[in-house]
Structure 1
């Protein structure tokens, strides 16, 4: 039950994004690094489970940005919206990040929807666009589009970031879900409160990042209390942070513990697909550990946390925090952090063809 929160409320930052990736703790995943595809320099971690080696959160040096959450399909009889797709959701993120530099966000929306590419994957929400300062800075950034496997006509998709002073939230549900999830509602409220606090107190970036990571650590998950998995998974929409839940498995020489209980919450069993073999062409920073590449069952929870800051000069600061080591042991907060900084090359070049759009249903209150 991932969560993405975005805000345009800080006067010194055009955009702030915070993200929790909730996954199987031992799902093979690289650490963030720069890599190249179709001439585009991309900063992201990569999912090594699927052969596409996609990502859930990435940005290019020219400011193309995308973040993705999964949508949990439940109707096994709905062939148009498969529970398990044949292609990786993360591949759509890289399809945007590695796309032609001259392609506008709106053109990509048309290309993806009109080709039917969104129908061959499991449920998802994809926020994508080019981070560009508009000529009228009071109007904020160029808008970002929201796509999903349930998107209709390209001209009907919702758009974000068209106003300053806003907060937006996405999780694992359709963007037009009429019921706001508790974690998204509280996440937006907490994010705006943090921005107000740091602005009024004149706090710097380091203090603000600490508060943003604390927001991502907010754990309000109810106890399982004997509920089976299908009932208990509903509770995950109530907590921004998901502590480790599940049963640890024996992988290599790692000792097995029959039950995992975090914060007093009993364990439950979760199973995942087996991973694809690692490629001999991977660089060191892309290669999953030998343990994680052969073990994909057991604990589930918040695996990675990401913060993206983009100031009004187009300077990007990218933080990723890993919460677990390669054997599924918790990492002390801050010990698994990586930080990148760079300047968006096309920051002051307003894209042609990205006309302003009115936000669609659910664009702000998911």
Structure 2
């Protein structure tokens, strides 16, 4: 089999290790693992299987299509639809697949009540504690409870809210959101879920009945200024390509589109078989690092569709065929994302179908 141009190697033992770290942060909580967006670009089915083997309590996906993929693969673990159902057809399919439907708006409540009046449904209610994206106003919690009591075939799984600024340890908004949610729930029965990855790391009071980790399961830190290893998380993904050319370029000559990099001296320049068509951000500037022989060398010039160029002056032994790591152990995705002016979430989710996935 030909050697792939670009490979994303996903270490499933690292995913299981990171699940254990979640449990150490929140030992009294059940864990709903967020594997939406194809497990943040890591591959939903293999990641789900690894987490199911490790005893995760439930999965969270964004939409019905993601849940169908898991069920078709034989994943029997509980699955919650974070955006709920978007149509009558989706509602019927969700009921057939025994999915847990997060209801976040009145129209969804009315749809389910009219369409499936006698069907046994598992439901969560999402409440808006201040993020103002999805969810019922907190003041409507008693009315939602009454609506639930009027439908004995509905089984309440719990009440969910989401934190807007959990990655800021000093956020007054997060404190206010948690307090408001707790107050609204004071006389309402049912399990609670507040914390995403940042919430369960930084906000002990958000570690309630359920936690919903996402990014930290994949070994990256959601907290600014930190990387996963600072939290004893193991990066699950390594993205690598290889050198396909090495040139001696004279001083004063330019490299790449737009001639944005001018060689300050005669220098060795390497060409790596990866570009923005594979998911490497075009905005990565000169100076952003890659790893060759476990040594950092800088990208020079513009990222193009299929290639990047790198400065090999500090690595005279580099040769055609050498592996080049874009991110992974030794070069955290969080750091690469900072160079690109984005987040590790987007790096992971942005890999394209040209990348070959390998699971270990």
TM-score normalized by the length of structure 2: 0.25
Structure with higher RCO (Cα < 8 A, 6+ apart): 1
Return the structure number with greater helix share: 2
TM-score normalized by the length of structure 1: 0.25
